[in-house]
Amino acid sequence: MFTIDAQQGQARTGTLTVKSGKTITTPFFMPVCTKGTVKMLTSKDLLATSTQAIISNAFILSIRPGLDVIKKFGGIHEFIDWPGISFTDSGGFQMLQPNFLLGVGKRGIHFRNPFDKNKMVFTPEACAVIQEAIGSDVAMILDDVVHYGQEYDRMALAIMRTQAWTKRFLITHTREKQLVFGINQGGTFADLRRKSSQLLAELDIDGYAIGGLGIGESREQMLDMIDVSIEELDPKKPRYLMGVGSPLDIIESVAHGIDIFDSRFPTMNARHGRIFTRKGFLDIKKAKHRDSELPLDENCTCRVCATYSRAFIRHLLTTDERTGHQYTSFHNVFFIQQLMTELQQAIAQGQFDEYRQQFLVEWHQ
Ligand SMILES: [Zn+2]
């Protein structure tokens, strides 16, 4: 299911094969399509950015459109027209929103249905059933997600609860057509991260996710937590850092042994006019780009950069035209996918350190 093809320091490139037989080279990045679509991009756009995997939200999709609808089409791939690999997040993170969450107990997450306001409980068993029905290639086990900055005792409770939920999920899940990943938690407490990994390493799961990072701690803290988390895990299984997607965070996390990423960061920034370039972020809405004939990024080979000027895209964004958001979203996702391809190649050729240094120098120019 996962082979490591080359490694340099902790950085590694490999091949993940899902149960349908589709393969993907790591490290890779997944755009987020919570409701079954990435904002502003069609599935054909995503393919044109070299995106090969996406992640949607099982909890949200199970409420709307509902599992019966997705099943009628034969699963998520057919329903949303996605030929690539698909992950589903359990949705535990979304339930943290104060207008949803009623409380977390032994049984599961108690919350108010955002659409009909009924009280519901989301159990690890339901989480398994829902994701199998959706038919994603990789399911995430329900974890007890804790807000950043919570005290030690709450974090300690979360990892024990997540362990119990993981076992219950595995009893329910048939494992026939879907890989399952368990989630490491523990906030910024090194001993809890380690303990969480030790518990995960005891279980028969296909991969590991590291959750609850990239949400307020410093980059150094994040990398420290990655280091302690992966120490206890089976090195032959893939490691997925959830919710992290800035170019520098990706490069540094790859250097610390991460194989898989997902984030709203590229598309969310794109919609606000924050453009990824080799020379760092570019704020396209600034007045200095008003009549610029340059592309968004002079080094980019995407179809937006080949066609449109900064002046035109700035005009579209400042007049709130939808196509402007489409173009900037396309470029930012293309940029990240290009970065992932270059990281894969650099590791395979034993030139990761040189590539990383060169990228950092250009980024800070
Ligand atoms: Zn571009």
Cα separation of 76 and 336, whole Å?
A: 24
Centre of ligand 1 from the C-alpha of residue 253, in Å:
24
- For the CA atoms of 14, 255, 137, 75, what is the dihedral angle to 10 degrees? -130
Burial of 329 (0-12, 13-18, 19+ CB in 10 A): buried
CA 314 to ligand 1 center in whole angstroms: 14
CA of 320 from ligand 1 middle (Å) equals 20
Which among 224, 182, 185 is positioned nearest to 202, based on CA atoms? 182
57-61, 204-208, 262-266: range with lowest mean pLDDT: 57-61
291-324 per-position pLDDT tens digit: 999 999 999 999 999 999 999 999 999 999 999 9
Q: What is the CATH number of domain 2-263?
A: 3.20.20.105
Ligand 1 center to residue 338 CA distance, Å? 10
Helix or strand or coil: residue 54?
strand
One-letter amino acid identity for 13? Answer: T
Q: Which run of H or E residues covers position 15?
A: strand 11-17
Q: How far, in Å, from the CA of 341 to the mean position of ligand 1?
A: 15
Residue 269 C-alpha to ligand 1 middle, in angstroms? 14
Distance (Å) from CA 202 to ligand 1 centroid: 44
339: its two tokens:
């970065």
Q: Which residues pair with 181 in a beta bridge?
A: 140, 207
pLDDT at 233 (0 to 100)? 97
Quick check: is 89 catalytic?
yes
- Tell the residue number behind the tokens 């005891």, with chain if given: 202
Per-residue confidence (pLDDT) for residue 93, from 0 to 100: 77
pLDDT value at residue 150: 87
Question: pLDDT tens digits, residue range 249-273?
Answer: 999 999 999 999 999 999 999 999 9
* 143 is a catalytic site residue: no
Measured distance CA(326)–CA(29) in Å, rounded: 19
Q: How far is the CA of 179 from the centre of ligand 1 (A)?
A: 34
- Comparing 94-103, 259-268, 271-280, 347-356, the range with the smallest average pLDDT is 94-103
Tokens coding 360? 């950092």
Centre of ligand 1 from the C-alpha of residue 287, in Å: 20
Q: pLDDT by residue (tens digit) across 147-180?
A: 888 899 999 999 999 999 999 999 999 989 999 9
Share above pLDDT 90 across residues of the chain, in percent, rounded to a whole number: 90
By three-state DSSP, how is residue 19 classified? Answer: coil
The predicted structure's pLDDT at residue 69: 98
CB 278 within 8 A of CB 355: no
Direct distance between the N- and C-terminal alpha carbons of the chain, in angstroms, rounded to an integer: 41
- Taking alpha carbons only, the member of 100, 92, 85 closest to residue 24 is 85
Q: Residue 302, by phi and psi: left (phi above 0), alpha (psi -120 to 50) or beta?
A: beta
pLDDT at 209: 98
Q: Which tokens hold the place of 191?
A: 């001993």
CB within 8 Å of 32: residues ≥ 6 apart: 38, 54, 55, 56, 262, 263, 264, 267
Which candidate, 282, 250, 309, places its Cα nearest to that of 365? 282
DSSP assignment of 46-91 equals HHHTT--EEEEEHHHHIIIIIHHHHHHTTSHHHHHT--SEEEEE-S
Q: For residue 96, is pLDDT > 90?
A: no
Of the candidates 45, 89, 137, 144, the residue annotated as catalytic is 89
The whole-number pLDDT of residue 357 equals 98
Question: Is the backbone peptide bond immediately before 31 cis, with ω within 30 degrees of 0?
Answer: no
User: Sheet harboring 101-104: ordered strands across?
Assistant: 101-104, 109-112, 119-122
pLDDT digit string (tens) for 9-46? Answer: 999 999 999 999 999 999 999 999 999 999 999 999 99
Active-site annotation holder among 143, 259, 262, 297: 262
